[in-house]
Structure 1
Amino acid sequence: MSILIKNGVLHVSGAQAKIRGKGQERPGFITDYTLLDIETTGLSPYRDHVTELGAIKVRQNEVVAEYSKLVFYPRSNRVPAFITNLNGITEEQLLSEGIPVKDAIIEFRQFIADDIIIGYNVNFDLNFLYDLTKKFKLPELKNDYVDVLRLARAYYPHQHNRLLDCLQRAGIAEVEEHHGLADAIATKKVYDDFRGHFDEELLKQARAKVKNLDLLDKELEAWELGLHNPVANKKFVLAAGLAMDKAEAALMVTNMGGLVQAMVQSDTDYLIMADQKFFSKNHPDWLQAQKYNQTGSKIKRLSESYFLNMIAEWARN
């Protein structure tokens, strides 16, 4: 039994099937790949939608094919106003110019094929795409990938590193278009700029930032936890029936700076429930949490899958 991070990938004995089986991050410079960028209605693949898919296929560092499609869903296609203000995409545009999401993800999965994937903060994109391929029973998106953001953090340490920042610093562009294909092309320009400036020491620094940790070994240091640790200073209750070993899960939370409580209390932050029990109306722990919430507590319930993928995203950060 174990819970560890190997080359940025979270491994949890007994519960691995609950974690997105994405590929491994491989910081470096290659000449054959697919570079992608997507637009969405928000940040969560659990509740938000893809609105646009964009990608370029690159061979010997030259673009040989492009993909760009707007996407609509069978039911709601509402686009929040702030997203429309950002990229100009509207619900009306999706319905009039887009193609059905099933058709889009089939085409996009075929376009990517077995290529190594490149993108900027590409884990964001991969979460949405992985879930869609799984939903429509397509080959899972297990392709290895290069995250250009990882390279940016090595090249521009201690600075804000949005795609726009990199475009402006390199004199490539003054604005980011926030459209899939356009941003994919812009990301390639940033990637090529890094290719011309990186040395072995910078590449070594980037690769060293990919996490390799035994989460059951000891309490992690602040530098190991980083700034986006989802567990730090939070109080958890682990309900019965979880696929992972509860004692190991509790030790993991403790080593990551959180606290596991034996039962739901007024100051509990998260109740972690077995996937099959998540929507139960009579779960005793959730009933107790609701009582506390009625008097001012803010206890949230998370499914085991959601919780593990939250940790997995931190592992890849």
Structure 2
Amino acid sequence: MPINSPRTAVILLLLVSFIWGSEFVLIDLAIELIPTHTFNAVRFLLAALSLTPLLWLNRSQLHGVRWRSLLGASALLGFLLFIGFYTQTEGMHYTSVSNAGFITGLNVPLVPLLGFLLFRTRASIAVWAGVIIATTGLYLLTVGDKLAFNRGDSLVLVCAFGFAVHILLTGRFVNSLPVVPLSILQLLAVALYSTIGAVTSPDPALYHPGSTPLNWQALASDPIVVSAALITGILGTGYAYWAQSACQQILESHKVALIFATEPVFACLAAWLFLNEKLGTVGLIGAGLIITAMLISELGDRRNKVKLEPLDQTTSVTD
């Protein structure tokens, strides 16, 4: 069923940000036990499988599909996700959580900037104001006055670029390719790339060097690994990237980036609820700025109404 209301799209993407922010601790615990490539291979395979019922329900989308374009777009989007998730996770071995959160959040200003440089897509003044305010809010929320660059930050910066380009290209591909097959195939591509990475790595595929050797049976019976794979695979990956692809049919890429900037807000809220961590005055100001940025961008850009028309059994954005 196509999403034809911008308000519904915003709600669905806010739910994605909530899931991403809430699952961070679980991923962090799982990665302590299982290597990044292996965890991502399992996670993205589960994500692709969780979307297969949608493929059956939307099987009319396969009629007349341009398979070469679909496979090429899926391989490219999957590669960007693979690079983004791998560099972010590896970078966090060498940098702080606050640095990683802020630098990853730089995809917010990168989306409209790269959109203009690559595709000459212009954003309104309200959007740019929202981008600047959201970036300031990200800095206050995740870093505060403790910014100190280290060797892991360059890896996380690659992640920010990867996520930004993924958002931009998704916005272009969903206007001509069916959403559900595109979502499933790009997730399968990430699983394939991660499997290749795990097999070709000189390190063991199932455990970290120097730790107790593990086998599939041990990992499959570990509650942390199993719960992390299921929750992040089905909700944080399968649902998330279907929702992104579907919602970008009616939301501009820069608005999607601004909505995703709320992820650290939800992460801090989850830490407050479950880990008894306190946000502090500076963090609260940062969270407030991010929410304010979304409102400024949305309310200030209301004059640019989204025009909907049928395309491949779905809705699309027309200029």
Structure with greater helix percent: 2
TM-score (norm 2): 0.25
Higher gyration radius (CA): 1
Greater strand fraction, Structure 1 or Structure 2? 1
TM-score, structure 1 normalization: 0.26
